[in-house]
Structure 1
Amino acid sequence: MITEEEFTRIYYHAAPKVQRLCLGYASGNKDLANEWLQETFIKVWTHRKSFEGKSSVDTWIYRIAVNVCLGNLRKSKQIITSENVHMIDIPIEDTDENDEKKINTMFECINQLNEQNKALILLELEEVSQSTIAETVGLAQGTLRTRLSRIRQSLLKCIKNGKR
């Protein structure tokens, strides 16, 4: 079982990555991402007694976060478009309009992926290790590497041409 002290330590370690993962699912909508981050850690706390240590705590938390994001997207059947996208915390003065357009385009392309591919690329963008990603989504590492390569190619094509 995870103690309150361990939970606090885990939260401060994992929350930034989970928030960015949720931000990817929310296509950059910070308010929605923060809502899902909060919901994720409420579930982590509520179910802390059920964590058996068969995987790393990070893997367990990522799985909860992915389930929270997907569950909320399914519930609302909300399509998040570029009109309601709030940009990542990049100070406006440090970015130009081109960078903002590229980020919006990237979110739009990621949003077009199926649920599992979206989870894979968002976890990779968070620099989560491929072994952790494979364990989180239940894929063999070789299958994961192939899938990630195809996803990257698809995203590159989408970003360059506006198509998948």
Structure 2
Amino acid sequence: MDERQLLFKAQEGDIESFENVIVSYQNYIYNVIYRIVGNKEDALDLTQETFIKVFVNIKKFKGKSEFKTWLYRIAVNTSLDFMRKRKGVEEQLHNISDFKTPEDIFDDKMTRDIIMSELNKLKNDYKIAIILRDIEGLTYSEIAEITNSNIGTVKSRISRARSALKENLKKIPGFINIFDERRQL
């Protein structure tokens, strides 16, 4: 059964169809939320909250956009609501490396922590745009739909966010040297 059929059955109240649809998206949604809130436990809770909202509102999904886009919008809005309630929390990314030396792992974690710390200093609109584009790999049109913005605004936010992030990182003593040292190796 394809996704459209599963969605139709889920909208009619078929729990098994809803679960089948959700299973295919749960890792993506968790990763988006995790990158926004920066905490595994909060991301798990917010992922569950997102899917509860989807379940409660699935009948409102009209198919005017892709289901994935609708789902991402709910996840991003749920995350932003949470972040508004919890300002000032530092984000950390988990270690994604399997075959690196302890020094490489430490350098990578420090680099991610610094980048995420600086990313957290950006306005939420900029932060969300960068996460959805550069980390999640969504298209400009998908981001526009998720954020209820036009494509020009999305492109502008991403450009400004990248520039601001780059400028902030330049101000950190020794940070750029990390990249220069790696290029020489």
Scaled to the shorter chain, the TM-score interval is: 0.7 to 0.9
Aligned to 2:94: 88
**Deviation, structure 1 residue 92:** 7.0
Which residue of the other structure, out of 171, 174, 179, is the alignment partner of 1:161?
Answer: 171
Aligned to 1:133: 143
**Deviation, structure 1 residue 100:** 0.4
Provide TM-score, normalisation by structure 2. Answer: 0.75
Aligned to 2:27: 16
Unaligned stretches of 5+ residues in structure 1: none
**Deviation, structure 1 residue 6:** 4.4
**Deviation, structure 1 residue 146:** 2.3
**Deviation, structure 1 residue 12:** 2.8
Choose 140-149 or 34-43, whichever is displaced more. 140-149
Unaligned stretches of 5+ residues in structure 2: 1-7, 174-185
Correspondences of 1:1-164 after superposition (within 5 Å): 1=8, 3=10, 4-27=15-38, 29-75=39-85, 77-81=86-90, 85=92, 87-91=93-97, 94=100, 95-124=104-133, 125-162=135-172
Choose 118-127 or 88-97, whichever is displaced more. 88-97
Separation in 2 of the partners of 1:73 and 1:144? 21
Identity of aligned residues (%): 30
Separation in 2 of the partners of 1:117 and 1:10? 30
Instruction: Check the 8 A contact 2:95/2:105 in 1, yes or no.
Output: no
Q: Secondary structure at the match of 1:96?
A: helix
**Deviation, structure 1 residue 91:** 4.9
Do the aligned partners of residues 108 and 136 (structure 1) sit closer, same or farther apart at CA in structure 2, a change above 3 Å counting? same
Greater Rg, structure 1 or structure 2?
A: 2
**Deviation, structure 1 residue 89:** 4.6
Two-structure CA RMSD over aligned residues (Å):
2.2
Do the aligned partners of residues 78 and 146 (structure 1) sit closer, same or farther apart at CA in structure 2, a change above 3 Å counting? closer
Q: Deviations over 1:102-148 (max 9, x none)?
A: 11011111111112212111111201121110111122212322221
Q: Secondary structure at the match of 2:24?
A: helix
Letter in 2 for 1:22: I
Letter in 1 for 2:46: W
Letter in 2 for 1:42: I
Task: Identify which of structures 1 and 2 has the higher relative contact order when contacts are C-alpha pairs closer than 8 Å and 6+ apart.
Answer: 1
Separation in 2 of the partners of 1:128 and 1:104? 23
